[in-house]
Structure 1
Amino acid sequence: SNQAAWRKANLACKIAIDNSEKDQLLQGRDSLRQRKTTKESLAESASNITESLMGISRMMSQQVQQSEETVQTLANSSRTILEANEEFKSMSGTIQLGRKLITKYNRRELTDKLLIFLALALFLATVLYILKKRLFPFL
């Protein structure tokens, strides 16, 4: 939009100059008063064009400042994302370690249940053997 405004201002300036030259050629050498009026109108149009260019310069400055703020915001966002990524990587290792420990705990729990069951079965077999020998010695 700044470039379009710049082009419009340049085009307006060229048109004003062309019109001025055209009028001068068509009118020929008239009085000093017409030259003075033409010079005044040229000065006024030059002043208007200068003001337009100053406005365009201010708009461009604002755009540059806004772009700088946007770049700063993007840099901050990128830094935050990188920090989150590093934290995720460290947590990933911790989660994998926790998964391994839980799996190991579940295996030991199964092994302990199996050993307790076997010990209970051996105990009951021993108790039954002793009862059989004491109560029924003839069998």
Structure 2
Amino acid sequence: MASSSDVHVRICSQEIIKYDLEIKALIQDIRDCPGPQSALLNLNSQVKGNFNKLRLRIQDLEQMAREQDRETDRMEIQAEAESQRRQMLSNQTAWRKANLACKLGIDNMEKDELLQRGENNSVRQRKVTKESLVETSSDITESLMSISRMMAEQVKQSEDTISTLATSSRTVLETNDEFKSMTGTIHLGRKLILKYNRRELTDKLLIFLALALFLATVLYILKKRLFPFI
């Protein structure tokens, strides 16, 4: 039966995959969006909401990794969290490109409409285009700042992982040294036991010979006393 921790990790991973697929679908909708600007803003709002949910679930997965008792489980979950963070950064880049492509298409469409409406509408439409470009620039700047923050978090997470791996390596080396010391002690103890067994056998043999000599001496004396003429 799976433990409660495994169930929570699996549920969290499934939710991360769900948000990732939803973000990819919304990015594709942005690429295909014919306009107007309000429709694009609505799609971007949904993408931002899903990114916030995805970021929180990745943080939950990282916390679960830190709470694992076994080193292998912790490293496995942490690796999955890092992979999901990289995927999120990739989605953010794709989102920014999709916005640029969509807004360029909308701008081109608006320019075509400007040419069709004539000279009077041209001035007003150029103003709208400039505002759209300003808004695009603002959105791009926001996306770049978000990517920068995510990369800083990724760098910090990588530093923490390297520190953890270094600590684990030191622990393994110390354990190996202890095993070597124990092996030497066991080998020495074995030698002492073998030496003691050999000494014990020698002592028993000497005692037996002394006892035999004693008995032979007693028998000889008795023989001389009881049978002096034999």
Q: Which has the higher contact order (CA 8 A, sep 6+)?
A: 1
The residue correspondences of 1:1-139 to structure 2 (distance < 5 A) are 1=87, 2-28=89-115, 29=118, 30-139=121-230
**Uncovered stretches (5+) of structure 2, i.e. residues with no partner:** 1-86
The TM-score normalised by the length of structure 2 is 0.55
Q: For the residues of structure 1 that align with 2:122 and 2:178, how far apart are their CA atoms?
A: 84
Q: Is the contact made by 2:96 and 2:140 (CA closer than 8 Å) also made in structure 1? A: yes
Letter in 1 for 2:113: L
**Uncovered stretches (5+) of structure 1, i.e. residues with no partner:** none
Q: For the residues of structure 1 that align with 2:104 and 2:93, how far apart are their CA atoms?
A: 17
Question: What secondary structure is seen at the aligned counterpart in 1 of 2:228?
Answer: coil
Letter in 2 for 1:20: D
RMSD between superposed Cα atoms in Å: 1.9
Question: What secondary structure is seen at the aligned counterpart in 2 of 1:51?
Answer: helix
Q: For the residues of structure 2 that align with 1:129 and 1:52, how far apart are their CA atoms?
A: 115
* 1:3 Cα offset (Å): 2.0
Q: Is the contact made by 1:5 and 1:56 (CA closer than 8 Å) also made in structure 2? A: yes
Q: For the residues of structure 2 that align with 1:127 and 1:22, how far apart are their CA atoms?
A: 132
* 1:123 Cα offset (Å): 1.0
Question: What secondary structure is seen at the aligned counterpart in 2 of 1:137?
Answer: coil
Any idea what the Cα deviations from partners look like across 1:53-85, whole Å, max 9, x if unmatched?
Answer: 211211111011001110011112112222322
Question: What secondary structure is seen at the aligned counterpart in 2 of 1:34?
Answer: helix
* 1:94 Cα offset (Å): 3.0
The alignment covers a number of residue pairs equal to 139
* 1:138 Cα offset (Å): 4.6
Q: For the residues of structure 2 that align with 1:137 and 1:23, how far apart are their CA atoms?
A: 147
Identity in percent: 63
